[in-house]
Amino acid sequence: MRDKNLSAHTLQMITERVGYFPGHVNIGMVIGNSGAILIDSGLDTQTAKKIKKGLDAIAQPLCAIIQTHAHADHFGGNAYLLGCWPEAQVYAPPLEEAIIRYPILEPIYLNMGAEPLADLRNKFLLGQASRVDHLLPLEGTIEIDGVEFSILSLPGHSWQQAGVVCDDICFAADSYLGEEVLEKHKLPFLVDAHETLLSLNKLKDTSYRGYLPGHGPYITSPIETLNKNIEWHRRIYSVIEEILEEEGTLEEALALLCERLHITMENASSFVLFRTAFMGYLVGLQKEERVVYRFVQNRWLWSKTLANNQDGAEGDER
Ligand SMILES: [Zn+2]
């Protein structure tokens, strides 16, 4: 029985009405007055079918889906679930909702705004489109089916990612990764490392009863995991700075970073994900004035800011 409870997509209850379906992507579940409210819906129809079974087993129709952010693995199950329960309402943060309604935007931005290559049109990057009925507030509370949810703004991993809190349980989306997942991913996906770190520090100041990330285990004291995530991003910052002691293009520096992190990019999907994440780290470093760029012979060259490594070179630094 115990083993069965731990298996993927088997509903785990945390409080009387709050639980989750564990899996590659954890899916939160809250029982409202007239049915279940999901937090994200998983990657695809296959996952969604298991979620439907789980809801049928507790005799709860779906009444709403709250999206934390617009990555295909978090909303790809909507199409099937909304087909089963057409009345269910979908909630998503601003900006993220646009991508959920027009999922082609994800491979478009990953392909630097150009028409996505055929290789980028797979279910991991291009989820099935879903309607979005309501915008979530960026921060604040919202009542859905008689249940009060607090929304936390946790940008960084995506632009307007939302954390969702109900009954003191925090569904933290991909603001942090479970420790094993972090080690597996090596270079976590993000669009702005600076915002990612601010969101991690914001979570460190909270003391909810429990925390569930999109990828990783449910835990009651997240400090160690949050610190590990913070250290991980800071370490990547330092490695990038070391690499950029020698000026290089984004792709040259990315290749060196992957070498240092023991990452092998073998297809277009993983390349564009890592390239975007790398740009997200550069954006963060640039915001902290730790890297600069210039254009030489039609090349966009990045380097570590000199003031940081040449002690008092400019005289103004202290
Ligand atoms: Zn994500």
Ion ligand 1 — residues with CB under 5 Å?
A: 71, 174
Average model confidence (pLDDT) across the chain: 94
296 alpha carbon – ligand 1 mean position (Å) = 35
- For the cut 80, the answer to whether the pLDDT of residue 116 exceeds it is yes
Q: DSSP label at 120?
A: G
Structure tokens that stand for 138 in this block: 């960026």
Other residues' Cβ atoms within 10 Å of the Cβ of residue 131: 13
DSSP three-state, residue 105: helix
Lowest-confidence region among 54-58, 121-125, 303-307, 313-317? 313-317
Q: What pLDDT digit, counting tens, does each position of 284-310 carry? A: 999 999 999 999 999 999 999 986 445
Distances 4 to 9, 19, 148, 203, 215 between C-alpha atoms, Å = 10, 16, 31, 32, 20
Q: What angle do CA 313, 195, 243 make, to 5 degrees?
A: 45
Is the pLDDT score of 118 beyond 80? yes
Buried b (16+ CB within 10 A) or exposed e, 58-94: eebebbbbbbbbbbbbbbbbbbbbbeebeebbbbbbe
Q: pTM value?
A: 0.93
**Is the pLDDT confidence value at 2 over 60?**
no
Find the helix or strand (DSSP H, E) in which 39 lies: strand 36-39
| 70 Cα to the center of ligand 1, angstroms | 7
- 72 Cα: distance to centroid of ligand 1 (angstroms): 8
C-alpha 276 – ligand 1 centre gap (Å): 13
What is the distance in A from the centroid of ligand 1 to the CA of 157? 7
Segments in the chain forming alpha helices (H): 2-6, 45-57, 72-75, 78-84, 96-101, 105-110, 179-185, 193-204, 223-243, 250-261, 268-287, 306-309
Q: Where are the domains of the chain?
A: 2-174, 238-309
What average pLDDT does this structure show over 237-247? 98
Which of 164, 167, 180 has the alpha carbon at shortest distance from 212? Answer: 164
CA of 246 to the centre of ligand 1 (A): 32
Topology of domain 2-174 in CATH is Metallo-beta-lactamase; Chain A (3.60.15)
Residue 222 C-alpha to ligand 1 middle, in angstroms? Answer: 19
If you classify domain 238-309 with CATH, what class do you get?
mainly alpha
Q: What is the mean pLDDT of residues 174-203?
A: 97
Tokens encoding 199 = 């969101």
**Distance in angstroms (rounded) separating the CA atoms of residues 291 and 216:** 32
The structure tokens listed for 260 are 């240092």
